[in-house]
Amino acid sequence: MRLQVIWITILQAAMVKSLKEVSGYLGDNVTLPSEAGASWNLSKIEWSIFTNNTWIATYRNGRENIERFHQYKGRLSLNTTTGDLTIHNLSRKDAMDYSVDLENAEGQNTANKIKLTVTERLQKPNIEVTVYGPTEGNCAVRLRCSSDDQGVNFTWRVKLPIVIVTNTQDHYGSSVVAFLNTTQSGAEFTCTSIRQNENNSRSVFPECSVKPPPTPTASPLSPEKRCRYGVTVFVGVILGCLLSAVMFFFGDQIKAAWKFIKGNLRPLHNSAETEG
């Protein structure tokens, strides 16, 4: 054993090519390429953990052994033609440097070193929906998209001819505000989170529906008192400013919505969507 370790160390020092990086997703399978030449008829394949030369999978004299190390029990498969090693059901502990030593039928040797990184798949984004209204058949809908993952960007896709008033993006997520009326149903808002070459989406279908009238205990408030409600102030200020700027250019729907915004605006239902 000791001699083997020394021999492997010398071989690695002499023959290891530049470190190749391979990335896999947690719970998925990943294949570490041996990079043996296509013409090589492999007679020996030895995969080991680079840092301490522990063998994890070997092929010698036509015999394969992929049950050498407890951490990988039942999770390895070796392609004895190509020398490639597949690790199944990746765990975070698998992220380290690997080394493969190869020998062909002519007695030639080569070695290769691979750095494996394990990353988590991008999760579905979350969409928080707030519907204001309806008043005179119109609703304002505010949708906020966020992600539990770091460093993602967002895009929105909206089906149906809905007027999008704002689309703002900040460090934590992306929001859109749109107008719906009670005759529109099936409006679909899809938020896609994007990270490098990965993306994941969630869709919601907010409705502008007539809800039962308020319970008698909720006595009507004076306009002054109503203005103190944070959400009314927020939507009033934000939408009011934007609307006054854009209403000039839009048709009757915006005018109806504007009238509604100036009217008795209050949140009707507020829900955080978790399933898409």
Which residues are near ligand NAG by CB under 6 A?
28-29, 41, 43, 49, 51-52, 54, 71, 79, 81-82, 88, 105, 137, 155, 161, 181, 183-184, 192, 194, 199, 253, 256
Q: Is the dihedral of CA 76, 79, 85, 91 positive or negative?
A: negative
* Nearest-approach distance from CB 101 to ligand NAG, in angstroms: 16
Residue at 28: amino acid letter: D
**Among the listed residues 64, 44, 48, the one whose alpha carbon sits nearest the alpha carbon of residue 1:** 48
Q: How far is the CB of 28 from ligand NAG (least distance, A)?
A: 5
Nearer to ligand NAG, 43 or 209 (CB): 43
Find where tokens 């460090």 sit: 171
DSSP for 146-164, written as a single string: E-SSSS-EEEEEEESS-EE
Q: Which is nearer to ligand NAG, 104 or 232 (CB)?
A: 104
Gap between the Cα atoms of 175 and 128, Å rounded: 9
Cβ distance to ligand NAG smaller for residue 92 or 225: 92
Question: What is the closest distance, in whole angstroms, from the C-beta atom of residue 165 to ligand NAG in the complex?
Answer: 14
- The residue among 207 and 231 lying less far from ligand NAG, judged by its C-beta, is 207
Give 9 or 54: the residue with its C-beta nearer to ligand NAG: 54
- Nearest-approach distance from CB 3 to ligand NAG, in angstroms: 16
Query: Is there a contact between 32 and 84 (Cβ–Cβ < 8 Å)?
Result: yes
Q: How far is the CB of 198 from ligand NAG (least distance, A)?
A: 7
> Minimum Å distance from CB 89 to ligand NAG?
7
- Spell out a b/e string for 220-251, using b for 16 or more CB atoms within 10 Å of the CB, else e: eeeeeeeeeeeebeebbebbeeebeeeeeeee
Residue 144 Cβ vs ligand NAG, minimum distance, rounded to whole Å: 19
Q: Which is nearer to ligand NAG, 227 or 255 (CB)?
A: 255
Nearest CB to ligand NAG, comparing residues 232 and 253: 253
Contact 128, 168 (CB under 8 A): no
Beta strands at 63-65 and 54-60: parallel, antiparallel or unpaired: antiparallel
- CB count in 10 Å sphere of residue 202: 20
